[in-house]
Structure 1
Amino acid sequence: MRRLRALLADTRPLRVPAYRRLFNAQIITVIGAQLTIVTVPAQIYAMTGSSAYVGLTGLFGLVPLVVFGLYGGSLADHFDRRRLLTATTTGLIVTSALLFLQAAIGNTNVWVLLGIFSLQQACFAVNQPTRSAVLPRIMPHNLLPAANALNMTVFTGGAIAGPLVGGALIPVLGFSWLYLVDTVFLLATLRAVLLLPPLPVEVVAGSSPGLRSVIDGFAYLATQPVLLMSFVVDLVAMVFGMPRALIPEMADINFGGPEGGGLAFAVLFAAMPAGAFLGGVLSGWVSRVELQGRAVVVAILVWGGAIVGFGAAVGLADGTTRPWLWVAAFFFALGGAADAASSALRSTMLQSAATDAMRGRLQGVFIVVVAGGPRLADVLHGLAAAPFGAVATTIAGGALVVVGTLLAAMLVPAFVRYRAPLAG
């Protein structure tokens, strides 16, 4: 029994009231958010029948993520973080309502949809580094690995339910109702944010939010090679190894599903977060890892190998859902479990090493990498799939992840040797 408890997720962070409220709100809102993540590419593919247009969600998400993620991190180092979270959560609610409206009135202009999506990502880009910078203020540092693992578990749990529900209900209810669910569920997050205590930051004399502040954050990061390499290996993993934009095409062509939604669409979208969720449930070991850099490298190598297996299984499909759909889902789930471990460890490394005065800006860089990498992958995979096909693009991407990660580990051995303090 003790061994089982040691393997299961560490729930000690839930004893902290402020974290517990945010955690409980996330359980509700992340499902709605994942419905939108699934519905936007499905609506675009239904409008255009093109993976290249679906890939444009990456570009329209990446630009605001880069600009507002970096600027948002600067804001989080200069203003009360509770107020900033309140403003950006309200923005997410408004943009989600606009997505509902455009679908409800029967919008057929893909650029309108992409424009609203871009505004939503701008709000997200300021919200996320602020939320991450808050965590070390309300949580003892020795509980950060467990708290990050719990956050990942909630996120991936919603990412399982979202695609399964969305994929099944899109053909029945249409797109608008799923956007409306996201809008309503976001109100739970707003309530949890309003219940946070005031969270002012210690502003350095003469410092102000803006370009100079962002540059100072990059200058600080340049002096931290281990943290810098944590960003590099994640970019390698996501840019080359995230075939998310190709799922509608794979579900349609390789597994014979309908253009919008369907079983294969839902299973493929849900497989990776399902694996990540299981990895989060069994994340008790994360709090005990000492060689965190080595663990991150191993996790990303597993991710790359799993993506190669995923692409090969899709290639062996013959236009039906069995049996290769489930083989592909297994490999994608394996990759998801590895990515969950990598994400929890990298988040902890950053939150523990950065000072509070710099934490928002470094979290801004982090969200640009973590959320921007997959969006850049959407663009590149969408473009590459046109001449080379979805299967070849996916397999080649997974192989490049393995090669790139090994090269990074050889170039910066200090990252592989990194040991983080587990208490403090």
Structure 2
Amino acid sequence: MRRLARSALADVTPLRTSPHFRRLWFGQSVSSVGQQMTALAVSVQVYTLTGSTFATGLVGLCSLVPLVVFGLYGGAIADRVDRRRLGLLGASGLAVLSAALATQAFLGVRQVGVLYGVVALQAVCFALNAPARASMVPRLVPAEQLPAANALSTVSMNLGLTVGPMLGGLLIGLWSYQAAYLFDALAFSASLYAMWRLPSMRPEPAAAGGPTRRASVLDGLRFLRDRPNLRMSFLADLAAMVFGMPRALFPALAVVLFHGDARTVGLLAAAPAVGALLGALFSGWVGRVHRHGLAVLFAVLAWGLSIAGFGLARQLWLGLLLLAVAGAADTVSMIFRNTIMQAAAPDDMRGRLQGVFIVVVAGGPRLGDFESGTVAQLTTPTFSAVSGGLACVAALLLLTARYPSFARYDSRHPAP
């Protein structure tokens, strides 16, 4: 029984066997908590200064545009230079910007434009740091440990999403914004130390022989054009996020379906993250799965059906449960999509594909907010949630018919 329980929990073998991955994971976990604390603190500070939900919403737009633009170029840069140095540059910039936020809070600066500008620069630094960091993972652990490493990375991300806002709210309530910003600046020391201890991580020579002379964004997109399995991994996630993302509906559904208030909205927003964290913690089985494409398809299918079921739920506990199931399914999808991208792509393309991954992850949910909000405005929030989940399923079936090789993808013989 004890052995069964251990096999169900996340496989921590990469943490045990790779000191470099262990330090990188710990540093990312600590800095992720700090970043989420800062994101909450910025939103609260902007609302306090302006009293405007529109002005608060602009914070997201200030980060989205640089993230999408520089995410692609950050990936291209990561395929040309030493990824360790690029990661150090991005993490150092993020630490300095967190210190700048703490400074403006200590000085009592009441300029919203300063906050917008710092948030935009943070997005640029993150877009440089994230592709470099993610593209180094296949060099730090053996191929058979990639699913476990990606599951652990998902644990790290969801710890930040759950612990960060709670700790940030506590610090802001007890002291002020300065405490959250200062914690974030100090938290980056763990990430900087992990990057500093890494060996040089220059991209490996291209498969055709000889080093890559240039690494352009267009080359990365052209590479995807002729690699159906990699392309399908991105399209499947877009189908889930664009059609099945109910986040913008939570305020309306909290009142219409569950007769609740702002606390109900908070529960709905937290449920997918809780499910995602649990899915990552109990991911010990992922290393025994070889049909990664099929696993992604089932995970996205579970996401779409769970969201449709959420739209039909009339009891809050059932709605929260279905959202948690959707979050767990999204974790499974992310683990295997990341592994496909890392295993099937050559090293000199991994940075650019990670850049595309950032754009999909950042842009997909925001397009989903627009889609679900528009449909809800034209119909009802309930119809938007149900139709969005079913549209996700329909889009997935069409994509599966268009790219049948994806369902046959086998990690023992990775083919892009």
The TM tier, using the shorter chain, reads 0.7 to 0.9
Counterpart for residue 357 of structure 1? 348
The one-letter amino acid of 1:194's match is W
| Equivalence for 1:9 | 10
- Deviations 1:165-218 (Å, cap 9, x if unpaired)? 345665555544333322221221111111111112246557235xxx211111
Unaligned runs of 5+ in 1: 258-262, 317-322
Distance (whole Å) between structure 2 residues aligned to residue 305 and residue 376 of structure 1: 20
Matched, 1:334 2:337: no
Deviations 1:100-142 (A, max 9, x none): 4555566666554343322211111121111111011111111
Shift of 1:160: 1.7
Deviations 1:216-270 (A, max 9, x none): 111111111011010011111122333345556767996323xxxxx44543333
1:234 aligns with 2:240: no
Q: Which residue identity does 1:358 align to in structure 2?
A: M
Deviates more, 1:78-87 or 1:27-36: 27-36
Deviations 1:8-65 (A, max 9, x none): 2111101111001112223322212222344445555664554x66554453333212
**Counterpart-to-counterpart distance in 1, 2:104 and 2:41:** 13
Structure 1 CA distance for aligned equivalents of residues 38 and 173 of structure 2: 15
User: Deviation string for 1:352-409 (max 9, x for gaps)?
Assistant: 0111111111111112112332233345556666666655544443332222222211
How far, CA to CA, are the matches of 1:185 and 1:299 in structure 2? 33
Shift of 1:152: 0.5
Q: Show the counterpart of 1:179.
A: 181
Letter of the 1:165 partner, please give it: L
Bigger Cα displacement from structure 2, 337-346 vs 64-73: 64-73
Contact 1:55 1:381 in 2 (8 A): no
Shift of 1:419: 1.5
Match of 1:255 among 260, 274, 292: 260
Find the aligned partners of 1:379 and 1:94 in 2 and give their Cα distance.
33
Question: Structure 1 CA distance, aligned partners of 2:175 and 2:309?
Answer: 34
Q: What is residue 294 of structure 1 aligned with on the other side?
A: 294
TM-score under structure 1 length normalisation: 0.85
Give the letter for the 1:345 counterpart: F
The 1:281/1:243 distance shift into structure 2, 3 A limit, reads same
* DSSP-derived class of the 1:293 partner: helix
Does the residue aligned with 1:284 lie in a helix, a strand or coil?
Answer: coil
Matched, 1:375 2:377: no
Q: Which runs of 5+ in 2 are unaligned?
A: none
Q: Is the 8 A contact 2:278 2:328 kept in 1?
A: yes
Mapped contact 2:80–2:212 kept (Cα < 8 A):
no
The count of residues paired between Structure 1 and Structure 2 equals 405
What do you get for the CA RMSD once the two structures are aligned? 3.0
Counterpart Cα distance in 2 of 1:231 and 1:195: 32
Distance 1:251 1:343, change over 3 A: same
Q: Per the alignment, in what secondary structure is the counterpart of residue 285 of structure 2? A: helix
Answer whether contact 2:171 2:179 (CA < 8 A) is retained. no
Distance 1:160 1:199 in 2: 32
| Change in 2 beyond 3 A, CA 1:183/1:384 | farther
Output the TM-score relative to the length of structure 2.
0.86
Give the whole-Å Cα distance in 2 for the aligned partners of 1:53 and 1:379: 18
Greater Cα shift, 31-40 or 362-371? 31-40
1:283 corresponds to: 283
1:79 aligns with 2:81: yes
Structure 1 residues 206 and 355: alpha-carbon distance in aligned structure 2, compared to 1, 3 A threshold:
closer
Residues 25, 192 of structure 1: 8 Å contact kept: yes
3-state SS of paired residue (1:96): helix
1:152 equivalenced with 2:150 (yes/no): no
Structure 2 CA distance, aligned partners of 1:226 and 1:395? Answer: 29
**Per-residue CA distance 1:248-306 (angstroms, 9 max, x = gap):** 6767996323xxxxx44543333222111111111111111122111101111111222
